[in-house]
Chains A and B, each alone.
Chain A
Amino acid sequence: MIPTILMAAPVANDWITLDFVSLGQNFWSATFDGLTFGSIYALVALGYTLVYGVLNLINFAHSEVFIMGCYAVFFTLSFLGFGPSAPNLGIGQIVVNLLLALLAAIVASALTAFLLERLAYKPLRKRNAPRLVFLITAIGASFTIQYLIFLWRGPVPEQALTMFQTKPIFEVFGTIIYSDQILIVTAAVIMMVVTERFISKSRTGRGIRAVAQDPDTATLMGVNKEKIIITTFVIGGILAGAAALFYVMKIPSGVVYNGGFILGIKAFAAAVLGGIGNVRGALLGGLLLGLIGNYGQILLGNSQWTDVVAFLVLVLVLLFRPEGILGTSLGRSKA
C-alpha cells in the first residue's frame, strides 16, 4: 500500500529544473544580496568559531543569543515609534534611532551570552564534565531560551517594522545596489576586521589565542582562563547583536521565538565551511554560504531549496577538506 502522501506528490517534470537563464539574468543582484546575507551569517559565525576555539564547544544556544538581539531591536524601535511603513524622519534621526537599536541589541545579546556561560557552562567546567555533557547542555539551553520566549511572546512573529526606505545608491553591472546592502556589508566587514585585529594584536586577543591552542600552558603564562572564556562569549554576543540589527533590517518579520534556529544553523555551517575556530574562515564561510544560497535559489527557482543547496556544498567541501577551507586553528587566523 502506497502512502497517500507519495501518491499525491507531483513528481512531475518540473520537480527540479535548473534555470540557468534566470541565474544569468539575476546573477549580480543575487551576488549582492548573497553578500549581504553572507555578512550577517559571518557575524553570527564568529560567535560559534570563537567559543569553539577556546572551549572546543559547539555553542548551539548561540542562535538564541542572536534572537535576543533581534527582540531588543524590535522593542527599541517600537518604543521609538517605528511601525510597518517607513518612518517619516530625516536621515540623521534614522541613524540615531538605528544606533540606539544596535546598542540595545548588543547589550541584550552580550548579556544573554554572559548568562549562558555563567549559568550553563561554567558549572560544568567546575565539575570537569565530559564533552558530551557540554553539547547536550548547549542544546538544552537553546530550547530553554526558545520556550521562555515562546511563553512570553507566543507563537506569532512580532509586527514587521520598517527601519528606512531602501534607496538605490548606484549601479554595477546593470544592477542597482541598495542602501541597506551597502550599510550591512560595510558595517559587518568593519566589525569583522576589528575583531580579527583585536584577536591578533591585543593582550586579551593573545590570551584568547593561547587558551585556544593550549589552555594549561596559557594558564602557566599567567592567563586567567576563566576571564578569557567569559570575554570570548561576550565578544560573540556583541557580534550577534550587530547581526541582529542587520537581520531585522532585511527580514522584518523574522522576530519570533524560534527565529534564530535556521540562521544559527547556517552561521554554524558557515563557520565549519571556513574552518571552525578560524576568524577569517568565519568571514569567508559566511560570504560563500550567502552566495551559494542565493545562486541555488534562483537556479532551482524555489527558495525551499536554498538551504539544501547550501548544505550540499558544505558536505562536499568537508569531504575534500575536513578542516574547512582555511583550517581550524584560531591561532592561525592571525596575520
Chain B
Amino acid sequence: MTLLELDDVSVYYGRIQAIHNMSFTVEEGEIVSLIGANGAGKTTTMKTISGLLNPTTGTIKFMGEDITKMKAHIRVVQGISQAPEGRGIFPAMTVLENLDMGTFGRKDRSGVGEDLERVFDLFPRLKERVKQYGGTMSGGEQQMLAIGRALMSRPKLLLLDEPSMGLAPQFIRQIFKIITEINSQGTTVLLVEQNANQALARAHRGFVLETGEITHSGTGKELLANPAIKEAYLGVG
C-alpha cells in the first residue's frame, strides 16, 4: 500500500522557490532515503510533509487521504512523526518529559507504557538518563532522544531529517542500525541524509535531490552503483 504520496509539489519561501514540482511515493514498510547536498531542499521537503510548511501547488496524500491542507499538529495524530533537523530537543525538559511530549496528541494513553519500554529497548542510554535535562545531553544522545520521542506517538511514518548530522562515526553506525531495527519492527521510514553511503545502503529505495528537484531515483543498490552519484555524493570518482 502507498503510505505517502507527493504529487507535483512546489514550495516557496516568499518569492524563492525551494521545491520544484516534486513527486514521489513511500510504500508501507519501506525505508526511503532522500539524498542531497546542503541547501538542496531536504528539510523543506520534510517540513512540507509534516505540515510546518504549506506547498503552493500540488497535493500530499497520506494513506490515500488528501492532507495538503491538514494542520501540522493533526498530522501527528494521523501517524506522521518527525525527528527534526537539529533534533529539536526541549532543553529545559528532562529526557522523560521530552519522551512524554511525543505522546501529546495521543488518544490511547494505555499504549504509552509499552511504547516507552520499546524506546528504552532501542536506546538503553535514554533509560539511564531519564532525569537528565535534554539541553545537557551530548549530540548523539540528543539524536537518540529525538528519534525515541518521535516513536512515542506510535507513528505509521517516521520522518528523520539528517540523524547523522554532527555525530561521531561510531554513533552514526549505531543510529543507522537502529533505524533499520525500527523499520523491521513495522514502522515506515523516510530518511533525509547528506551521508549518502549509509543512507542508501540501508534504504529500499532512494531519491537524489538537487536544488529542489529529484534528479535520480532507484533502489538503494542502484543508486549506490550509479557513477554520477558516486562522484557527487559518495566521495569517490
Whether A224 and B88, one on each chain, are in contact in the complex, defined by CB atoms closer than 8 angstroms, is: no
> Interface code B110-139, partner A: CB below 8 Å = 1, 0 otherwise?
000000000000000000000000000000
Bound CA–CA A220/B47 (angstroms): 9
- CB–CB B90/A224 < 8 A: no
Q: Which residue of B lies closest to A331 (CB)?
A: B92
In the bound complex, residues from chain B placing their C-beta under 8 Å from that of A220 are 50, 52, 72, 76, 81-82, 84, 88
User: How many Å lie between the Cα of A16 and that of B105 in the bound state?
Assistant: 61
- Give chain B residues whose Cβ lies under 8 Å from the Cβ of A334: 92
Question: A81 an interface residue at 8 Å Cβ cutoff?
Answer: no
Q: Does B77 contact A (CB under 8 A)?
A: yes
Of residues 219 through 248 on chain A, the ones whose CB sits less than 8 Å from some CB of chain B are 219-225
Q: Which of B51, B91, B92, B104 contacts A221 (CB 8 A)?
A: B104
Q: Flag whether A213 is at the interface (Cβ < 8 A).
A: yes
Interchain CA distance A330-B92 in the complex, whole Å: 8
Contact B73 A223 (CB under 8 A): yes
B132 to A: closest C-beta gap in Å: 14
**A residues near B149, Cβ cutoff 8 Å:** 221
Q: Does A203 contact B (CB under 8 A)?
A: yes
Residues of B within 8 A of A225 (CB): 73
Query: Does A217 sit within 8 A of B, measured CB to CB?
Result: yes
Per-position binary interface string of chain A over residues 184-217, scored 1 when its CB falls under 8 Å from any chain B CB and 0 otherwise:
0000000000000000000100110110011011
Question: A333 CA to B77 CA in the complex, in Å?
Answer: 29
Please give, as numbers and ranges, the residues of chain B lying within 8 Å of A332 by CB-CB distance.
Answer: 92
Least Cβ distance of A327 to chain B in Å? 10
B210 located at the interface, meaning its Cβ lies under 8 Å from any Cβ of chain A in the complex: no
Q: How far is the CA of A214 from the CA of B102 in the complex (A)?
A: 14
Q: A332 CA to B149 CA in the complex, in Å?
A: 20
Known: A219-B73, A220-B76, A224-B73. A210 touches B101 (CB 8 A): yes
| In-complex Cβ contact of B105 among A217, A221, A329, A330 (8 A) | A221
Are A213 and B72 in touch, CB under 8 angstroms?
no
CA A218 – CA B101 in complex, angstroms? 8
Residue contact B92 to A206, C-beta cutoff 8 Å:
no
A216 contacts which chain B residues (CB < 8 A)? 52, 84, 88
Tell me whether B93 and A209 are in contact (CB under 8 A): yes
Q: How far is the CB of B161 from chain A (nearest CB, A)?
A: 10
Among B130-154, those with CB < 8 Å from A are 149, 153
Closest chain A CB from B12 CB (angstroms): 13
Whether a CB of chain A sits under 8 angstroms from the CB of B97 is: yes
**B51 closest partner in A (C-beta):** A219
Asked whether B84 lies within 8 Å of A221 as measured between CB atoms, the reply is: no
Taking CB atoms, residues of chain B closer than 8 Å to A219 are: 51-52, 72-73
Residue of B nearest to A214 (CB): B88
Bound-complex Cα distance A330 to B149 (A): 21
> B105, A331: Cβ atoms under 8 Å?
no
Q: Contacts A206-B100, A216-B52, A216-B84 given: A222-B90 contact, CB under 8 Å?
A: no
A-side contacts of B89, CB under 8 Å: 217
- Of B52, B73, B93, B97, which is within 8 A of A222 by CB? B73
A220 to B82, CA, bound (A): 7
Q: How far is the CA of A216 from the CA of B52 in the complex (A)?
A: 7
User: Are B91 and A331 neighbours in the complex by a CB distance under 8 Å?
Assistant: yes
12 contacts between A and B (CB under 8 A): A203-B104, A206-B100, A210-B93, A214-B88, A217-B88, A220-B50, A220-B76, A221-B73, A221-B153, A222-B73, A222-B77, A224-B71
Give the A-binding residues of B (Cβ under 8 A).
50-52, 71-74, 76-77, 81-82, 84, 88-93, 97, 100-102, 104-106, 149, 153
A206-B101, A220-B81 known; 20 new pairs, CB 8 Å cut-off, are A206-B97, A206-B100, A209-B90, A210-B104, A214-B88, A214-B90, A218-B101, A219-B52, A219-B72, A220-B50, A220-B76, A220-B88, A221-B153, A222-B74, A222-B77, A223-B73, A224-B71, A331-B91, A331-B93, A334-B92
**9 closest Cβ pairs, A-B complex:** A222-B105, A331-B92, A217-B88, A222-B76, A222-B104, A213-B90, A332-B92, A221-B104, A221-B101
